[in-house]
Amino acid sequence: MDLSNPRCEHLASPDIKNFILSILIVFGILLSYTPQHVRILTMKTSFGISPYFVLLGTTSGSSALANVISQQQSLHDMACCKQVNGMGCFAGILGILQVGTQCLCFFIILFLFVLFFPRNTAHLPKSSPTYRTAVTVAVICILHAAFMLITTLAVGYTRPSSLQAWSNFCGILSALLASIQYFPQIYTTLRLRCVGSLSIPMMCIQTPGSLVWAGSLAARLGPKGWSTWGVLIVTACLQGTLLCLGVFFEFLGPNRGHSHEGHDKDTEVVRGGAGEEEVVAEDDQLAVGGDAFVEGSVRSSLYGWILAFGKSGMWSSGLEMQKRKTVLLVPLYFLAAMYQSLLAQLLEHGTVCHLYPTVKRNR
């Protein structure tokens, strides 16, 4: 075995513990997404899953794959395949295999999301996404993946010296998308007050698993690969938040179990010559529409506090202090918006999940 390149020495005798852990992570990724795939197939609906969550997750996965492929360390490891044995070569591309597996699993969710998207949403709130939205999301995800692939190949062949810069850009883009990926789903779960077709077992596996995966990639890529493993730490924190909300609504909240129940006790069915029509009980309509008062009161109190804080005399005059005040108030206002939405949704006992009969696809 000729190891003329000193960069290939670490692949000639790879660390067995890290090698086994990396393989287990690949199978863990497949295992973690399986409950979500099975849940959508079993329920025959993607109700409760935000299309923007799928959009951001899929595009983030494509960006992460482009990031890890164009990493200098990954390129060196792939080049070493000519000088090391099969096991060493396989160990060198395990990082790419891990990210590629996650990207593939999310594309499967995208496919199932569109395939089983509810067609008949007449009895759901008007703000609910339509089938056209789901198709648009799928088209954007496919175009984004194609763009990432073509650009990575083009930069690699025409300007190899710029690959690391492109890799960092893809990593930052993936991190930004991953950072906001769970906000649409958190909002959807809060609005519906149930998990719908979202899989809690998937989140139970992925939340701690993402931290383990981040540690494995950090050991492989080092500090220069921060844009790759840093994404996983961000997503683990946000997914943990969504997991807590899902567990609360599914097992602890006042409307627990609505994801699996019908709506016989909450609706009446009027049968006529032309078919059946669902009539939502009056108390359900009040429950669905009761957010306005709660949200309005919480919003006015929080936002009023922020505005009063901004007008207070603690701020010195001058352009520099005005800039500091703006920088501080913008995130405060954003956090207040999230907090008031969370509090309002948790205080309101109504749910729209039970308005969707058995949440199955209606062609």
- What tens-digit pLDDT sequence spans the chain (363 residues)? 555 566 677 777 777 888 888 898 899 889 999 999 999 999 999 989 999 999 999 999 999 999 999 988 787 778 788 787 778 788 888 889 989 999 999 999 999 999 999 887 666 667 778 899 999 999 999 999 999 999 999 998 898 888 889 998 998 898 889 888 899 999 998 888 888 899 999 999 988 888 887 887 788 777 877 766 777 787 788 889 899 998 888 887 665 555 544 433 333 333 344 444 444 443 443 334 444 433 444 444 444 544 554 555 444 455 545 544 454 455 555 555 655 555 555 545 455 565 444 444 444
Q: Give strand ranges (E) for 65-153.
A: none
Token pair of 344, please?
């309002």
Query: Burial of 248 by CB count in 10 Å (0-12 exposed, 13-18 middle, 19+ buried)?
Result: middle
Return the DSSP state at 317.
P
Return the DSSP state at 174.
H
Q: Check if the beta carbon of residue 185 is closer than 8 Å to that of residue 50.
A: yes
Q: Is 0.75 surpassed by the pTM of this model?
A: no
Amino acid letter, residue 19 = F
Q: Read off the pLDDT of residues 318-360 as tens digits, 9 standing for 90 and up.
A: 554 554 445 445 555 555 565 555 555 554 545 556 544 444 4
Q: Which residues pair with 267 in a beta bridge?
A: 280
Q: Give strand ranges (E) for 47-132.
A: none
Q: Read off the pLDDT of residues 20-76 as tens digits, 9 standing for 90 and up.
A: 888 988 998 899 999 999 999 999 999 899 999 999 999 999 999 999 999 887 877
Q: Which residues pair with 270 in a beta bridge?
A: 277
